[in-house]
Amino acid sequence: MSAAVMETPRETKRDAVINVRLPTKLRDLIDSAAAVVGKTRTDFILESARKHAVDVLLDQTLFSLETAQYEEFLRVLDEPVQPNARLKQLLASKSPWQK
């Protein structure tokens, strides 16, 4: 990933324009969120879009395997998980949204 992609919006020259039409309620929601974090609407939208774009691109990882490696990979995926102390603790704990 290039360094330019990872920069925050204010660190680079702004030489392109994007016009977006959106419902007033959505604009107001964005403005409220931007105000909470002390950003302008533009900076908030650019930072949010950049983060999402990076996440999408990072999720598109491709790797290739030889046939034997692929078969071993599938075999490991199909094996049942062997319980251990950490797994038992994880499964016994509440999810973050349940706390």
Query: Residue 97: pLDDT band by 50, 70, 90 thresholds?
Result: confident
This prediction's pTM: 0.54
Confidence of residue 12 (pLDDT cuts 50, 70, 90): confident
Residue 95: is its pLDDT beyond 70?
Answer: yes
Note the pLDDT of residue 67: 95
Is the predicted pLDDT of residue 28 greater than 90, yes or no?
yes
Q: Give whole-number Cα distances, 13 to 4, 9, 46, 88, in Å.
A: 11, 9, 13, 51
**Higher pLDDT, residue 35 or 80:** 35
